[in-house]
């Protein structure tokens, strides 16, 4: 009788070792995205000037803690899959859109940058979720929960942007 080791072992089965390696790479990218987001969000909670920026900055400050938690979760999952969490020398920055604006009162620049970062995360996590289908439901479950957080962040900042758009300032 043939034993279905694939369904019995899933992500840890011998025949899935190649695919597990690919998943680890996707998780490493997610890990770096979270780390870079933390860097960008910290700078963008400190730099902005102006009364109206306060609300946005306060909200971004709360997100930093969540993004840091996400980075931890991705790192822990990499280890559980027998991968190694990369060292800082492997890091490459990508968030060109979240660099400090020319004028530090330009909070719309920050809002748009946050939306772009969240969009990028949502897109990459969607890829992981689909990659995990019938393969690693534990990672899939984790990433679905994280993706929901990013959707929440995006929605919040879209609300901020809407306010500026209504006033013709965005
Ligand atoms: Fe995140
Ligand atoms: Fe986020």
pLDDT in tens, the chain (170 residues): 455 544 556 899 999 999 999 999 999 999 999 999 999 999 999 999 999 899 999 999 999 999 999 999 999 999 999 999 999 999 999 999 999 999 999 999 999 999 999 999 999 999 999 999 999 999 999 999 999 999 999 999 999 999 999 988 78
For residue 51, report the distance from its CA to the centre of ligand 2, in Å: 24
What is the CB neighbour count within 10 angstroms for residue 124? Answer: 17
DSSP string, 65-83: HHHHHHHHHHHHHHHHTT-
3's tokens: 């034993």
For residue 3, report the distance from its CA to the centre of ligand 2, in Å: 42
Distance CA 65, CA 70 (A): 9
For residue 81, report the distance from its CA to the centre of ligand 2, in Å: 24
Residue 102 — left, alpha, or beta (φ > 0 → left; ψ -120 to 50 → alpha)?
Answer: alpha
Contact 26, 139 (CB under 8 A): no
| Model pLDDT for residues 59-86, shown as the tens digit of each residue | 999 999 999 999 999 999 999 999 999 9
For residue 7, report the distance from its CA to the centre of ligand 2, in Å: 33
């Amino acid at each position: 009788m043939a034993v279905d080791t694939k369904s019995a072992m899933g992500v840890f089965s011998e025949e899935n070792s190649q695919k597990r390696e690919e998943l680890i790479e996707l998780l490493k990218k997610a890990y770096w995205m979270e780390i870079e987001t933390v860097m960008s969000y910290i700078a963008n909670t400190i730099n902005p000037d102006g009364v109206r920026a306060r609300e946005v900055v306060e909200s971004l400050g709360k997100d930093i803690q969540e993004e840091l938690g996400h980075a931890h979760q991705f790192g822990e999952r990499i280890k559980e899959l027998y991968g190694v969490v990369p060292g800082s020398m492997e890091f490459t920055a990508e968030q060109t859109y979240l660099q400090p604006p020319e004028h530090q009162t330009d909070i719309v620049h920050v809002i748009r940058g946050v939306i772009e970062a969240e969009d990028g995360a949502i897109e990459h996590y969607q890829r992981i979720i689909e990659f995990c289908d019938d393969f690693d439901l534990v990672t899939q479950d984790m990433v679905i929960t994280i993706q929901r957080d990013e959707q929440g962040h995006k929605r919040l900042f879209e609300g901020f942007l809407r306010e500026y758009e209504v006033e013709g300032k965005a």
